[in-house]
A = this chain, B = another copy of it.
Amino acid sequence: MSQEQPDGEDLDFWSFIDYAIERTVRQLPEVDPLAMRLVFTLHRAANMIVYDLESSVHRPRGWSWAGFRVLFVIWLAGPLEAKRVAELSGMSRAAVSALVATLEREGLVTKRRDPRDRRAVLLGLTGHGTQAIAEAFQVHNAREQAWAATLDEDERATLISLLEKLTSHSVRIDARHRL
């Protein structure tokens, strides 16, 4: 038992993936351990970075990660239809709608009906919103730089390139995406 089945209680955040792969492959031989490790590690990395950025930069400003993403899109590309904001931030229209209600309440975002299409809502930033996102983004990017500094310049470029390859081929496997 002690050699055959290592006690799950001894596992920690870092050791889990190796254990998981070993156990899974043993139980389900047709499982692809490399694919498993790839998705697990990618999800882990993104989660860790997002949690760090959100808790160190955005929450202290009263924002959420999602709120920051919407503010960022509107800052750069606004005023913009809510539908487009949803697309550019990778969220659903319903999520943007609920989120914008919060951001509007906080005096960061403005909403008005698009005169050219009465179905559509145009989202813009208030003066305060513009100032706040410009400031926050600098702090955010400084933190991004701290993370990116873990890799050298070549590694960064490689990582980006591989991730871009991964995402751009999503159409090939008909990946589900938000509407």
Contacts and interface: CB of A to CB of B under 8 A. Distances in A.
Interface of A: 8-9, 11-14, 16, 19-20, 23-24, 27-28, 30-32, 34-39, 41-53, 55-56, 72-73, 76-81, 84, 87-88, 90, 134, 137-138, 141, 144-151, 153, 155-160, 162-170, 172-173, 175-178
Nearest to A173: B146
Given A8-B77, A47-B46, A77-B8, A27 B148 contact: no
Contact of A151 (B9, B153, B162): B162
A153 B162 CA distance: 12
Nearest to A14: B168
Interface SS, A side: helix
A16 B74 CA distance: 12
Contacts of A77: 8, 11, 16, 19-20, 23
Copies in the complex: 2
B159 A162 contact: yes
A166 B8 contact: no
A175 B48 contact: yes
Contacts of A28: 134, 137-138, 141
Contacts of A156: 34-35, 38
Contacts of A51: 175-178
A81 B11 CA distance: 11
A36 B141 contact: yes
Contact of A90 (B13, B134, B158): B13
Given A8-B84, A175-B52, A47 B159 contact: no
